[in-house]
Amino acid sequence: MAAFVRRGPDRPHWRRGGPRPILNDHTHLSPGMFIPSRGSKVANPVVRRLRTLSRPPVRALAALLSLASALLVAPGVGAQAADASGLRADIDRRVAQVDGKVVAWRRDFHQHPELSNRETRTAKIVADHLRSLGIEVRTGVARTGVVGVLRGGRPGPVVALRADMDALPVGEEVDLPFASKVRSTYNGQEVGVMHACGHDMHTAMLMGAAEVLAGMRAQLPGTVKFIFQPAEEGPPPGEDGGARMMIKEGALDAPSPTAIFGLHVFPFASGHLTVRPEGLMASGDVLRITVRGRQTHGAIPWAGVDPIVVAAQIVMGLQTIVSRQSDLTTSPAVVTVGSIHGGVRNNIVPDSVVMMGTVRTFDLAMRGDIHARLRRTAESIAASAGATAEVRIDTLAPVTYNDPTLTERMTPTLRRVAGEGNVATAKQTTTAEDFGYFQQRIPGMFVFLGITPKGSDPAKAAPNHSPRFFADEAAMPTGVRTLANLAVDYLTQGATPTPASTRGQ
């Protein structure tokens, strides 16, 4: 069974014996890179000066002085390094300035959570903030989404940063002065509403990063696109929404970014970061099975076909797909039935039962295989009882697939931001994210940010989506710095072609 295809860069042709490439303006010189032999045409002033160093000693001193001045002005090396460190220091200064606001925004969003596709208040605050920074703003993208474009003062590539804005139908049980008391209706039921997945933090941190980057726009070598996305948790039944709809409505067009970054808070050491190349989070598919029997009196079941018993058999049958039929050495997978509805009264066998569940995989082939087995199992068990099963599988999110080349390139940025010892390889998680839709279109990297306070055990912390989910605000400056630094480092390094990520979808 095919696992993810490793998408490492192809071997350069010159390693296979072809002609060596000539350094061009896009090549970044670094210590240790080869210097072309004399006689070849070299535009880079640093290389020219390095070459003169090998001339007779009488000219060497002059060349050395010349090299020193070149390092200060050369566009390829010295200036870029100086620029980068200047920009980084600027980011840190500005993050400290904006930190109070980020906390205030986060608390405000936390106290006023909005369900998926209903993020009107949040979106307005976001849009007003971006406009106040002089950022070009488009609203109403995929219903309530907001897209901002910040054009830097210098030419360069386009990079996107994404945050999600929606909350969950969960009643908050955390004792906070800004705890949510909001109630709403979801899927016909009255529910509490809570930012139980930390999207309040994501939105606030990206607003902070926007303010930081807008403050240094004159120095930015390129364009930053801010994508504030609705309905990451999935639009309400019957509605479209989320990343897929944002892309359909042009979130990645005009201008088109060549890379995208996003982050998500999870319970582990506050302020630490984790990331991994390739499949980070699972694909999430929504499973819906309608079992149709024939209604009858509960006392004379033989006069009908009982869909409740059939549904029970199907639930058990589905559990054998992962445990008995899938090669778990290839990749993990999960099939869960999370809801069963059928019947209204103790002594009536109903006509039908509706079940809903979720399917999680990290591998494209395995995903297709499990889908086929789900259909076969449900339909065959139903047929064995004279009932029918209609199976519908909708994609909520593809695999969150971190482009390996981009991830390798940007991991040093994470280490610098969080500290060398505070960045680790992320474990795969069977939770899903619709960030993968962006990564299907352009290379992207999704990063986890720890939010378990110092002194607490992350293993005992309430997970995302729990009514007791608690996130340490002290991690937020690291989040803002991560977003801003990823954008600036990507722009400063210049866009290099990375293969489009299409695996795991």
Binding residues vs Zn ion (CB under 5 A): 197
Shortest Å, Cβ 273 to Zn ion: 16
Shortest Å, Cβ 29 to Zn ion: 41
Of the pair 102, 197, the CB lying nearest Zn ion is at: 197
Shortest Å, Cβ 495 to Zn ion: 28
Give kind and range of the element (H or E) at residue 159: strand 154-164
One-letter amino acid at 457 equals D
Of the pair 431, 505, the CB lying nearest Zn ion is at: 431
Of the pair 197, 417, the CB lying nearest Zn ion is at: 197
Backbone angles phi, psi at 304, to 5 degrees: -140, -160
Shortest Å, Cβ 447 to Zn ion: 13
- Cβ-closest position to Zn ion: 197
Of the pair 91, 165, the CB lying nearest Zn ion is at: 165
Shortest Å, Cβ 19 to Zn ion: 49
Of the pair 147, 197, the CB lying nearest Zn ion is at: 197
The span from the CA of 274 to the CA of 93, in Å, is 24
Of the pair 339, 380, the CB lying nearest Zn ion is at: 339
The span from the CA of 355 to the CA of 353, in Å, is 7
Shortest Å, Cβ 264 to Zn ion: 6
Tokens of 173: 């049980």
Is residue 177 classed as helix, strand or coil in its secondary structure? Answer: coil
∠ CA 79-82-88, rounded to 5°: 135
Backbone angles phi, psi at 327, to 5 degrees: -80, 100
Shortest Å, Cβ 378 to Zn ion: 27
Of the pair 197, 406, the CB lying nearest Zn ion is at: 197
Q: Is the dihedral of CA 482, 445, 366, 1 positive or negative?
A: negative
Would strands 296-297 and 273-275 be described as parallel, antiparallel, or unpaired?
A: unpaired
Cα dist from 349 to 43, 293, 378, 389, whole Å: 83, 9, 20, 17
Scan for tokens 């086929």, then name that residue: 372
Q: Do the beta carbons of residue 241 and residue 117 sit within 8 Å?
A: yes
